[in-house]
């Protein structure tokens, strides 16, 4: 069993770089066995192909507009992509589009979770807003906790 912690987003669009910043924070941590982390930026198609190479669980980390106060971090369990899924757009990869691409390539995952953070600004510019930057370390800790939970649930389901 392996779980990938994948930070996604565009560092040139303000708080959209949240997932990339969390991936950098995860790179400084010791991760549990079976867990690895990576910065996928806007390379969602690359991420989908990597998931085909033998990953069982995925925790995506991204800026997600949710109508909450900026800096709010939450866990989302996305629905599996359906037949009405939007077409793949390599220039705008969201968690839903990564999962749609994976499904269209014939792949699937045992469990997928998204650690989302409400952005303050997605406008052009480098760097996170202070409130979103303050959410990076807590989100990294949450992503590791969720990966460990996925691994435990898998072990408990074994005969």
List the domains of the chain with CATH numbers.
3-91+106-130 (3.40.50.1450)
- Give the C-alpha separation, 26 to 28, whole Å: 5
pLDDT digits (tens, 9 = 90+) for 6-39: 999 999 999 999 999 999 999 999 999 999 999 9
- In this structure, of 17-26, 27-36, 49-58, 65-74, the range with the lowest mean pLDDT score is 49-58
Please state the rounded mean pLDDT for residues 46-55.
Answer: 82
Q: Model's pTM, two decimal places?
A: 0.88
Find the mean pLDDT for residues 84-93.
Answer: 51
pLDDT of 96: 76
Q: Cα(104)–Cα(29) distance, rounded to whole angstroms? A: 33
């Amino acid at each position: 069993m392996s779980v990938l912690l994948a930070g996604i987003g565009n560092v040139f669009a303000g708080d959209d770089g949240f997932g990339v910043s969390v991936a950098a924070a995860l790179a400084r941590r010791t991760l549990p066995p079976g867990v690895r982390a990576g910065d996928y930026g806007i390379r969602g198609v690359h991420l989908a192909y990597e998931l085909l190479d033998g990953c069982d669980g995925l925790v995506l980390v991204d800026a997600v507009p949710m109508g909450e106060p900026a800096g709010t971090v939450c866990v989302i369990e996305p629905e599996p992509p359906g037949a009405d899924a939007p077409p793949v757009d390599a220039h705008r990869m969201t968690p839903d589009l990564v999962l749609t691409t994976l499904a269209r390539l014939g792949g699937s995952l045992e469990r997928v979770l998204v650690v989302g953070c409400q952005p303050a600004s997605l406008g052009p510019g480098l760097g996170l807003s202070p409130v979103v930057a303050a959410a990076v370390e807590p989100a990294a800790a949450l992503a590791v906790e969720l990966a460990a939970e996925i691994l435990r649930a898998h072990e408990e389901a074994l005969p």
